[in-house]
Amino acid sequence: MNFRKICSSLCLFSMLASITSSRPSSAKGSDTVAAAVSASANSKPVEQDSARLPLSVRPTNYALTFEPDAKSFTFKGTANINITISAQTSVIVLNAADLTISEASIRTPKDGLQNATVQLEAAKEQARLSFKSQLAPGQYVLNLRFKGSLNDQLRGFYRSAYVDEKGSTKYMFVTQMEPTDARRMFPSFDEPAFKSTFQITAIVDPQYTVISNAPVAKIERQGNGKKVVAFDKTPVMSSYLVALIVGDLKASQSKTANGIPITVWTTPGKESLAECALNTAVEILPVQEKYFGIPYPGKKLDLIALPDFGAGAMENLGAITFRESRLLLDSKTGTNFLKRVIAGIEAHEMAHQWFGDLVTMQWWDDLWLNEAFATWMATKTVNTIRPEWRALARSVETRNFAMGDDQLQSTRPIHAHVANPSDAIEMFDGITYEKGASILRMLEVFVGEETFQKGIHDYLSSHAFGNAKTEELWDAIATATGSSVPVLELMKPWVYQPGFPLLAITQQSPDREIKLEQKRFFAASDAPSSKALWQIPITFHPLQSQLQPSQSQSQSQSQSQSQSQSVSTPASTFTSAEQKVQTKLFTEAQGSLEAGDLKDAAFANKDGSGFYRVMYAQQDFQTICAKFAQLSAEERLSFISDTHALAVSGKIPVENLLNLLLKVKDENDPLVLLNLVRLFYLPYPSMDAGSVPAYQRFVQVHLSPLKDRLGWDAKDGEPELNKDLRSEVLTQLGTYGQDKKTIDEAFEKYHRYMQDSKSVSPDVVTAMLTAVAFNGSDAEYDEMIAAWKLAKAPEDEKRFLQSLTHFRKPEIVSKVLALIVSGQIRGQDAPSILGSLLEHFDTQHQAWEFTKTNWTKLVKQFPPTSMRHVAGACMYFHRKSDEQELKSFFATHKVPFGESTLARALEDVHISVLYEERYANRVRQWVVNHDTFDLKQ
């Protein structure tokens, strides 16, 4: 079973939580660093790739003018581009897609104006400008006039529809350029290394507000009544960071942080929903300026909420764009979860203003330099401003999520060859974001936080307003260590090899030597072996033979508090023994490390900071299970993930994993409990008609006491993460656990909520709606549809829409499927609704029949990159017949921008099939044996 099935919502702030794509073609067979380096050396130089631009012509400044037409959904524009030519040529090649270039000329110092012949090459998304005379090296101005469409595909310069307060449909005109869609707005040198300044002017209807990367320089009126808004010149930046937003926008109250004005922009009527985002941004900016030791590179910061937006957010320099549901929050009905999401996404995108905007990767193969660090920096920032959310501890969840992708044969290295726009799009995945962030955390722990921070500062300072490569980051960090750590050699395997190691500990106590083996870990039990090796920084956490009296007392007090109050986070209980084993690099296939003063088993990944799995001898595994409470919360999360993966791959008995579910009765940490409770779904797909009642009783017996402690309502002074835990427990009991009391309570609260939305705590609304839908009928469906259409806050709109995917009755599921292609659901949301129906065990086959029947229609209707998410959702199938059916269908149906997503999904299905064939009977038997387990034992 796929761990992502159980914990798909673990990532707090990455826009990639639903993206599972990668580039398998560059990953397969690349088991060693030598192979990866050799493949890179034998490939064509990047400047010779057919989709790449020549390096002999470079822009230095763009003067751009755009005039959108709200009636025809078209725009016209001009571009005057200052360029430098370094080698004589009669041809200039730049990027253009879906544009008509009506005029092209160049002003030369010698010959004055020279016109060009324009040849558009659609397949390459390029325009070739041919001149009669040779252009000698020097400075020129390229003049272009062009037209384009304000598309509905959520890329380039596009239109976004919304319904205003009077019920009328209105439009905004907005941009989304990353990775390669600036070329759909204006002819450009649309590669990250062609950095330049931009001077943008917009000619618009007078009622519109216009926002771009830089502050407004001046506003004038034309004789025809149009408004001309000219912006200051931007800092030097890449074309994919250009932003232009035109529409009826309203500003929140602006606030200043470290001298930078920050404003949140919304459509009319939603200004009151911006307070949380504004206040959070004001807290974030000083924290990040201090960490980087470099001033914010822009003159202002606008945060813009867009009704239609394909990504979660986009880091345009000085003008960050967001989905409404990822920026706006109703202070009265907003959930704790959304507050965390908003803070995390803001911290991620604001970190990009330095790591990505100020210093940009040279090419898309190093995208991880941008996204991995922004993901890790968001964790550090949120942990600073909201320590109660425990973002650092939750970074282990990020690690676990990434391993779910990286344990596949169809994964890819973090650094993978990118030859064209399709390749670039597929780089936006869990390998780039979550794996990249996890190896940065591992390196930071290894070299030390202060050293790591200094290396980051030096890297940004030396490459400010320029481009960099991975090796230059490693050089900066190595220099910060005083060259005492060979960072480049250490990190090469983690960046240039696919996958990660399994560390098998074949012997620990009582000897003073720990025997180790490493080999690449695959989730599929029939995967081929690999000779890949890594340099693994290992720090052991020694476990004590017995708890000290003071610790036992602390444990007792903690359990007592949890019974009387709620689940509590232990303060400083279960600290490790005084003796420590220093971090050591393990680089061989087999070897040993001195165990120091260890007298018992040790946990081999202290605080879960290492990006590797650990397999213990069964005796040591049992010892660690018995001393589970001595592990830190991060170590427990790591241990749970490792145990799950090892059981699925057939390397350890499945009972080792199932027995962890029983830990809920003794666990007090809400974050660990949250992960354990999610595992309660694990046996469900293996159940048959005879064992389902036993499974339901098992869930009820083990989670009802936790529900009784938590209740439906938050308690004063409880840990913040209890809110997440409460929702998960109620969801499990109200759906697959079929607890009648919980279901009845959910319906009772639902009826009150539909009359008064303030009558139910915001943090349990999703659990309540899920339980009602799961057990609901046509009446509830009709009510939720009406509530979705009338929702004012984006969060309410999203959760009512998502709740529709939890109905199980076939006739209701058919209604939801029909709704998906009706045009009533936004293009940004429809693919995820279909994906949810494909994920859910009880609806996936009905949803799949719909998907097959409507494939051609869906490809045309959904935004171009969205079908890969639909294909990715097929990873949740688990029967042999499903695997054969999926392979047969996709053999003749191409997934746009989704080759690697599909490969990964099909491999996940294969892994689930192997798991079911091996373990289904044992899982059923285990559940039957434990459905009435005595909690007092």
Tens digit of pLDDT for each residue in 441-497?
999 999 999 999 999 999 999 999 999 999 999 999 999 999 889 999 999 999 999
Tokens of 299: 């003159």
Residue predicted with more confidence, 792 or 98: 98
Is-cis flag, bond preceding 685, omega within 30?
Answer: no
pLDDT band at 40 (very low <50, low <70, confident <90, very high): very low
How far is CA 440 from its chain centroid? 16
- Say which residue the tokens 């192997």 belong to: 914
What is the pLDDT, as a whole number, of residue 557? 37
Is 768 in contact with 776 (CB distance < 8 Å)? no
How far is Cα 867 from Cα 127, in angstroms, rounded to an integer? 28
* Partners of residue 64 on adjacent β-strands: 79, 200
Tens digit of pLDDT for each residue in 493-513?
999 999 999 999 986 655 567
What is the pLDDT, as a whole number, of residue 777? 97
- pLDDT above 70: percentage of residues in the chain: 89
Query: With 70 as the cut, is the pLDDT of residue 147 above it?
Result: yes
How far is Cα 928 from Cα 912, in angstroms, rounded to an integer? 22
Q: Which residues of 513-524 are buried (b: 16+ CB within 10 A; e: fewer)?
A: ebbbbbbbbbbb
Is 260 in contact with 288 (CB distance < 8 Å)? no
How far is Cα 866 from Cα 566, in angstroms, rounded to an integer? 42
How far is Cα 631 from Cα 668, in angstroms, rounded to an integer? 13
On average, the pLDDT of the chain sits at 89
- Return the H-helix or E-strand segment holding 49: none
832 to 13, 380, 569, 826, 828: CA distances (angstroms): 17, 29, 34, 10, 8
- Count of beta carbons in the 10 Å neighbourhood of residue 137: 11
- Say which residue the tokens 């659609």 belong to: 122
SS3 of 442, please? helix
End-to-end CA distance of the chain: 29
What is the pLDDT, as a whole number, of residue 614? 97
Tens digit of pLDDT for each residue in 648-700?
999 999 999 999 999 999 999 999 999 999 999 999 999 999 999 999 999 99
How far is Cα 89 from Cα 665, in angstroms, rounded to an integer? 75
Beta-strand runs (E) in 387-533: 466-468, 501-507, 513-520
Query: With 70 as the cut, is the pLDDT of residue 322 above it?
Result: yes
Is 349 one of the catalytic residues? yes
Minimal CA–CA distance to 910: which of 399, 406, 410? 410
pLDDT band at 336 (very low <50, low <70, confident <90, very high): very high
pLDDT band at 599 (very low <50, low <70, confident <90, very high): low
Query: With 50 as the cut, is the pLDDT of residue 577 above it?
Result: no
How far is Cα 832 from Cα 829, in angstroms, rounded to an integer? 6
Tens digit of pLDDT for each residue in 423-456?
899 899 999 999 999 999 999 999 999 999 999 9
What is the pLDDT, as a whole number, of residue 935? 42
What is the pLDDT, as a whole number, of residue 166? 87
Tens digit of pLDDT for each residue in 531-554?
999 999 998 888 876 544 433 333
- pLDDT above 90: percentage of residues in the chain: 81
What is the pLDDT, as a whole number, of residue 481? 95
Tokens of 501: 């190691």
Tens digit of pLDDT for each residue in 230-239?
999 999 999 9
Catalytic position from the list 178, 315, 324, 349: 349
pLDDT band at 626 (very low <50, low <70, confident <90, very high): very high
Query: With 90 as the cut, is the pLDDT of residue 75 above it?
Result: yes
Mean pLDDT of 31-47: 36
Tens digit of pLDDT for each residue in 284-309?
999 999 999 999 999 999 999 999 99
Q: Which residues of 364-395 are buried (b: 16+ CB within 10 A; e: fewer)?
A: bbbbbbbbbbbbbbbbbbbbbebeebbbbbbb
pLDDT band at 332 (very low <50, low <70, confident <90, very high): confident
pLDDT band at 594 (very low <50, low <70, confident <90, very high): confident
Query: With 70 as the cut, is the pLDDT of residue 49 above it?
Result: no
Tokens of 179: 């990775």
What is the pLDDT, as a whole number, of residue 639? 98
How far is Cα 338 from Cα 346, in angstroms, rounded to an integer? 12
Is-cis flag, bond preceding 179, omega within 30?
Answer: yes
Query: What's the predicted TM-score (pTM) here?
Result: 0.91
What is the pLDDT, as a whole number, of residue 321? 98
Minimal CA–CA distance to 491: which of 448, 530, 438? 438
User: Roughly what angle, to the nearest 10 degrees, separates helices 487-496 and 436-447?
Assistant: 160
Burial bucket for residue 648 (CB in 10 Å: 0-12, 13-18, 19+) = buried
Residue predicted with more confidence, 92 or 598: 92
Is 411 in contact with 479 (CB distance < 8 Å)? no
Query: How many Cα atoms occupy the beta-carbon half-sphere of 216 within 13 Å?
Result: 12
Least confident among 23-32, 819-828, 833-842: 23-32
Tens digit of pLDDT for each residue in 353-363?
999 999 999 99
What is the pLDDT, as a whole number, of residue 545? 60
pLDDT band at 567 (very low <50, low <70, confident <90, very high): low
Query: With 70 as the cut, is the pLDDT of residue 37 above it?
Result: no
